[in-house]
């Protein structure tokens, strides 16, 4: 059993800190592109042209040059929350973040939703599902 077998405490406050402030990538899978274009009610081609960038053979969301914020971060909130990509849906339950208790504690320094007083206990089954989605 993993060290987090009894679950982990987390509730997103939608603070937006994981959505910018430093250079990074929000990778999009084909299903992410489909979901996001449907959410925005635009074609996949339009989504890619307006909001994405090609990095090697992969597609990432654009970020703003001035502060590296994700192009969809508006007033510190995700403006496409329901249609957001898998990478965003699964954070902070990424393999590297749950690799050890220490890694999780370090992630909590970046994500205020971890171990906050309002946090819910996320059960192992949900964590495992998110880890699978993230792969
Ligand atoms: S840093 Fe954590 S609490 Fe803040 S928006 Fe991201 S996932 Fe939510
Ligand atoms: S799509 Fe939304 S949740 Fe994902 S990085 Fe951009 S603003 Fe944040």
Residue 12 Cβ < 6 Å to ligand 1: yes
21 is a domain residue: no
Nearest CA to ligand 1 atom 2: 111
Structure confidence at residue 135 (pLDDT): 76
Same structural domain, 89 and 72: no
Structure confidence at residue 63 (pLDDT): 96
**Beta-strand runs (E) in 22-97:** 52-55, 58-61, 73-74, 77-78
Point out the residues of the chain with pLDDT beneath 70.
none
Helix axes 44-51, 30-40, angle to 10 degrees: 90
Residue 112 Cβ < 6 Å to ligand 1: yes
What are the CA-CA distances from residue 100 to residues 9, 38, 72, 94, 104 (Å)?
15, 37, 31, 11, 6
Contact 60, 53 (CB under 8 A): yes
Among 80, 104, 119, give the residue marking a domain's end: 80
Residue 70 Cβ < 6 Å to ligand 1: no
Q: What's the total number of domains in the chain?
A: 2
pTM: 0.91
Span 109-130, pLDDT tens digits:
999 999 999 999 999 999 999 9
Same structural domain, 95 and 122: yes
Structure confidence at residue 16 (pLDDT): 87
Domain that holds residue 133: 1-14+85-135
Contact 74, 51 (CB under 8 A): no
Same structural domain, 38 and 76: yes
């Amino acid at each position: 059993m993993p060290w987090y077998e009894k679950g982990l405490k987390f509730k997103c406050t939608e603070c937006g800190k994981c959505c910018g402030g430093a250079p990074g990538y929000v990778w999009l899978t084909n299903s992410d592109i489909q979901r996001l274009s449907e959410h925005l009610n635009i074609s996949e081609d339009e989504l890619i042209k307006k909001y994405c960038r090609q990095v090697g053979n992969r597609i990432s969301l654009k970020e703003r040059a001035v502060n590296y914020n994700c192009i969809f971060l508006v007033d510190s909130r995700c403006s496409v929350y329901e249609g957001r990509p898998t990478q965003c849906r699964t954070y902070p339950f990424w393999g590297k973040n749950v690799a050890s208790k220490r890694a999780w504690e370090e992630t909590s320094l970046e994500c205020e939703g971890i171990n906050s007083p309002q946090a819910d206990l996320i059960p192992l089954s949900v964590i495992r599902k998110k880890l699978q989605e993230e792969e």
